[in-house]
Structures are given as structure tokens and as C-alpha cells.
Chains A and B, each alone.
Chain A
């Protein structure tokens, strides 16, 4: 057999297995970390016990926190929180509880998913950790129960799609616009079971926040993972957060085999808006400008970071948000909240009329708060616009970048941020 080069995904699994592996192979691979939160965690814990689980594979490799329904918005939610806390205590797992923020942001900030590692999370947007060069994927609760017991899981080594991005973004256009454009091109199932490998000068020049936005939404194309091979930006991010951080080299071979190769040039990219009710329905903002909106949500694991709030604050300037719009701003984590607070963004948002909530999933969860009535329209920096995602199935959700969200919130209708 001729030797063929490997993709980053194949190399990560090969590293775990101690031998070459190729896409399509099914392996029982050890995991480096597992993440559970208040929605899928309780069921995962029940499954762990049903499997006669006694001790988790390694308490230090389990990330446990509450972020979807916090502070508890119902008695059943409060009961779930108690159940999670008891499990953390019993298993000696560090419990971030409801203090730190949205699970995915916290995992990145705490350096709990590092380059070359395999990380699973009981949440579909776990793929975000690929921004730091990990192979990270979302799993269900029963698979998580299994992972907690054995520290391993069956994986089908995925084929990869090579996404090469070139060019520089125009002012007020960025990572979210790029990933919405990629989703439109590949389609909602265009990457099912595959790993999206993000390459090219635009990605290399992108800060971690933007890379997280891109990898976060890999699942919206059905992908199992999204990965940016680690570079100096990655290493700098983690070196400041992890003691004894090891800078590993990890990139695809030149002759790696890809299922598909796609090139994108962002030079002339317009701000993108995904219209109801699918993520792959992106339009240039020019084509939907003027659409009436009732609520604007700036936040989520996709776009609740300091850089996102900074972009929104820049667009806002000294203006006020329209009285016809409810503006909800939620930083993705305590760290991002504090940075934004110190930079003055939070004060500016409050002055302008926004509700600023403590770090959590917020309206994106579709069950906690910020729900929509029938006929209402939300413009959101989150990741999904499925029918009913943010409340009534007769409401509509549009997805966009923080810049577009802020510009639109000023005028009460979808607005091109370049013209504000």
C-alpha cells in the first residue's frame, strides 16, 4: 500500500492509537476530557450509574458546570443543578457551577481542551474547541455516561474537508459572516460526519475569538469537528492559561487526502444574515436590510466574547438602541464580562438601553428567558435559527454578526453595519 499523508483529524487519532489510522476506521479511543452541563449532564450521570459506573475515569478530566438555565428558572431546573452538584462532590470533580459562563467558552479559557487532544462534550457545539487545535465533538447523554465510566468512546475517524480562506475582511465584516457564507455554500448537511479543517491566510491572521466562532458552527453543516491547526496564536492563548503548556506541532501532510476542498475569498464578502428557518440560508445584508425586528440578542458561545462585544460597542458609538427593540447582551463568560466591563462596553450598552445579563446561554437555549411570541422576529448572534429555537414556532430568528446586530438594534430593523 502506498503511504498517503494524513489530515489533522487522522493524526490526532493516530496519536491516540499509537499507529496510523485512516478516515473511515472505527476506533475505541481514549479521551482527554469530557464536558457536561445542566441540560444533558443529569441524564449522562443517570446513564453512568445505570452502567454500574462507580468512579469516573479521571475526575480531573471532567468539566462540569451549569450554563443553560441559570440561575434556576424553574424547580425542575433547580433540582437538576442539585443533582449535578452532588455528582461533582461525590466524584471529586471541580465544579464551575454557574459562576464561570457558557461551557464552551469556559473550556477554552481554562485550557481544558488543548492542541492534539480528543475532547467530548454533551453539547453539539463542543466542536468549538477545535479552534485550539483539539479534536472535539458533541455527543449525547448515553455516550457521555459511557465516556465518564471508561474514559474512551467509539469514534469513526472522519474524512476531512479542507476549507482554505484568503483575503482580508472589509471593515465590520468578520468571522461570523465567513462561517455563515461557508454554511450557505456547504449546506446544512454538507459536512455530515466530516471534520472541517480551516486553513489559509485569513484563518492564520484571525484571533482566537474568530476561530472559535468558525469552529463553533461546524456542527451547523453537520460536521463532527472543526479544526484550526495550532499556530503561534493558539500557543500564546494557552501558554497564558495553562501551566507547563506544551507547544506541539500539528498540521496536515501536504499529500493528505480530503473528501472535498473549498476555497473562500473574503475580500468582497458582505455581512451575512441567515434568514429563517435554517442556518444555511445566508443572504447578503443588503438583501434583507429593512426587515423589522423585535429583539436583538448579542451573546452565546458563538459570539459572546470580548472581541464581539467590542465590535458591537464600536458600531453603537455614542448612540442609543431603538426603543422599538429589546436588546439583550450576554457576555459568554465571567472573564469576558469583566474585560468588557473594564473596557466600558457594558456601561455603554446599558446607557443605550440594553439589558445586560450574567454569562449564560440566554435566549439561544429557547427555554430559559428572552422567548419570542408568535409573529415576533429576533436578530441574534447565536448559532441556530430553527423554527421555535427562541420561543414560539410562529416566531422568526435571523442570525448575524455582532456588528450587524448592533447596527440593526440602533434602527429597529436589519441594517448594514457598514452604513452606520
Chain B
């Protein structure tokens, strides 16, 4: 699984420019992913490739088009030192798994890594880089198959006003 390495503060305008926001199809969005900032991504990214970023990955707009574009490109995992808040939730909601890995900076572009979800680490050569577990409430959503499935299965939700 090839790594596409990016730096700090990768914003959602870079992931998918504003002029493509009338598009909702993930594959079509993917054909414009990183347009103008890293054009080879949309051409060469393959199913199962992994995006690795620095700190504050996905900052900026709330556009869900950004994780959708990456998903449409065949990406399943995004590994970064930290994520912007809205992007993190959006990624999970569209079926991408954002993994917070303090050592993400050590993973070079083009390298081969594998993500051991159950074991909680990323295998890079001889190294095992650990990532933070996803918060429990979000893990429940992932386990349900995503927020759409989580929401579809319910008529009402357990509000904090009621004892849980």
C-alpha cells in the first residue's frame, strides 16, 4: 500500500477546490483531488493507498466533499499527527478511518506500510508505530457501519437529558 505523504495544515481547499463543490459523486470528486497542488494524486492513487499527513490535517471548510474525494480515490486510511475537528468526524462518517499517529512524520512518501487495526499499530519496515484509539462514541458509529446506518436503525437517540 503506497503512502501519499503530505505536510502540515493540509486544508480542505487543497483536497478539493471550491469550484467542484456541486459534485457529490466520490469518484468524480476524486478526479479533482489535490488539483493544482499535487496533480499526480488523482492519476496515480490506487485502491488501498494510504494518505499520511502532518499536523492539523483537513483544516478549513466543513465540506464533506474532501473525505469523499479521498474515499473515491480508493483511500481507506488517513494517518496524521493531528486532524482538524470537522474533517475527523466527516472522515468517519463517510467510511474513512482517520488515525492519529504522533510518529506519522517518520513515514516517507512512496513507502509501503500496512495498518494493523486490531493490533493498534502501523507497520513500516521493522518499525511499529502506534496510533491513538478512536473515541468510544465514534467507534460505536464505525461498528454500526457508519453514521447513516447508525441513524437509520433508530427512531430516537439517547439524549444526555435522560440517564444512560
Which residues from chain A sit less than 8 Å from chain B, CB to CB?
Answer: 13, 16-19, 21, 26-30, 39-40, 42-43, 46-47, 50-53, 68-69, 74, 76-77, 79-80, 122-124, 126, 138-143, 145-146, 149-150, 152, 154, 156, 188-189, 192-193, 222, 224, 278, 365-367, 371, 384, 386-389, 392-394
- The CA-CA distance from A50 to B95 in the complex, in Å, is 15
Contact assessment for B24 and A46 in the assembled complex, using a CB-CB cutoff below 8 Å: yes
CB distance from A163 to the nearest CB of B (A): 18
Verify A392–B19 contact, CB threshold 8 A: no
- Asked whether B159 lies within 8 Å of A367 as measured between CB atoms, the reply is no
12 further contact pairs, Cβ within 8 A, besides A52-B151, A124-B60: A26-B137, A28-B160, A39-B63, A51-B151, A53-B151, A139-B89, A146-B150, A152-B157, A192-B84, A367-B17, A386-B13, A393-B37
Complex Cα spacing A306 to B50, Å: 47
What is the chain B residue whose CB lies nearest that of A77? B22
- Tell me the complex Cα distance, A197–B152, Å: 36
Cβ contact within 8 Å between B151 and A150: yes
CB distance from A138 to the nearest CB of B (A): 4
Chain A positions within 8 Å of B158 at CB level: 28
> Is A40 within 8 A of B64, CB to CB?
yes
Task: Give the dominant DSSP class at B's interface.
Answer: loop
Residues of chain A contacted by B35 (CB below 8 angstroms)? 393
**Is B94 interfacial (CB 8 A cutoff)?**
yes
- In the docked arrangement, what's the CA distance between A176 and B160, Å? 37
Contact A43 B24, beta carbon cutoff 8 Å: yes
Contact A367 B20 (CB under 8 A): yes
B33 at the interface (CB under 8 A from A): no
Q: Kindly supply a per-residue 1/0 record for chain B positions 145-164, scoring 1 wherever the CB is within 8 Å of any chain A CB and 0 otherwise.
A: 01110111010111111000
Complex Cα spacing A371 to B138, Å: 38
Question: Which residue from B36, B60, B90, B93 sits with its C-beta under 8 Å from A393?
Answer: B36
State the CA gap A394–B37 with chains docked (Å): 9
User: Does B135 touch A at the CB level, under 8 Å?
Assistant: yes
Question: Are B13's CB and A142's CB within 8 A?
Answer: no
The chain B residue sitting closest to A75, CB to CB, is B22
Q: Using CB atoms and an 8 Å cutoff, list the residues of chain B in contact with chain A.
A: 9, 11, 13-14, 17-24, 35-37, 55-56, 59-65, 82, 84-86, 89-90, 93-94, 135-138, 146-148, 150-152, 154, 156-161
Q: Which of A30, A40, A154 has the most CB of B within 10 A?
A: A154
Residues of B within 8 A of A386 (CB): 11, 13-14, 60
5 closest A-B pairs by CB? A366-B18, A393-B36, A140-B90, A367-B19, A51-B151
Do the beta carbons of A74 and B24 come within 8 Å of each other?
no
Choose among B55, B62, B147 the residue that contacts A123 (Cβ–Cβ < 8 A). Answer: B62
Give every chain B residue within 8 A of A192 (Cβ-Cβ): 56, 82, 84-85
With A50-B152, A138-B62, A146-B151 known as contacts, the answer to whether A17 contacts B56 (CB < 8 A) is no
Contact between B64 and A43, CB atoms less than 8 A apart: yes
Interface centre among B61, B89, B93, B158 (most CB of A within 10 A): B61
Q: List the count of A-B residue pairs having beta carbons below 8 Å apart.
A: 154
A43 to chain B, nearest CB (A): 6
- A76/B89 in contact, CB under 8 A: no
B25 to chain A, nearest CB (A): 11
- Residue with the greatest number of chain B CB neighbours at <10 A, chosen from A53, A146, A394: A146
Q: How many Å lie between the Cα of A52 and that of B151 in the bound state?
A: 8
B62 proximity list for chain A (CB < 8 A): 40, 122-124, 126, 138-140
Q: Are A388 and B137 in contact (CB under 8 A)?
A: no
CB distance from B100 to the nearest CB of A (A): 11
Given A18-B161, A76-B23, A365-B18: A139 and B86 within 8 A (CB)? yes
Asked whether A222 lies within 8 Å of B14 as measured between CB atoms, the reply is: no
B85 touches A51 (CB 8 A): no
Please indicate the chain B residues that have their CB under 8 angstroms from the CB of A123 in the complex. 61-62
Q: Which residues of B contact A27 (CB under 8 A)?
A: 160
Q: Looking at the assembled complex, report how far the CB atom of B33 sits from the nearest CB atom of chain A, in whole angstroms.
A: 13
25 A–B contacts from the bound complex (CB under 8 Å) = A17-B160, A21-B160, A39-B21, A40-B64, A47-B147, A51-B148, A76-B22, A123-B61, A126-B62, A140-B64, A149-B151, A152-B159, A189-B9, A189-B59, A222-B84, A278-B9, A366-B18, A367-B21, A384-B11, A386-B14, A387-B11, A387-B36, A388-B36, A388-B37, A389-B18
A145 CA / B14 CA spacing, docked (Å): 25
| Interchain CA distance A74-B19 in the complex, whole Å | 10
Give the CA-CA distance A154 to B59 in the complex, in Å: 20
Residues of A within 8 A of B150 (CB): 146
Task: Give the distance in Å from the alpha carbon of A125 to the alpha carbon of B20 in the complex.
Answer: 20
A40 and B61 alpha carbons, distance in the complex (Å): 10
Contacting residues, chain A, for B18 (C-beta < 8 A): 365-367, 389
Contact B159 A29 (CB under 8 A): yes
Residues of B within 8 A of A16 (CB): 160-161
A79 to B24, CA, bound (A): 13
Known contacts A124-B86, A146-B151, A389-B18; A154 and B159 CB within 8 A of each other: no
Q: Pick the contact of B135 from A26, A74, A152 — CB < 8 Å? A: A26
Contact residues in B for A152 (Cβ distance below 8 Å): 157, 159
Q: Is the CB of A222 within 8 A of B20?
A: no
- Nearest-neighbour CB distance to chain A for B95, whole angstroms, equals 10
For A149, give the chain B residue with the smallest CB separation: B151
Residues from chain A with Cβ under 8 Å of B154 in the complex? 150
- Report how far A154 CA is from B157 CA in the complex, Å: 10
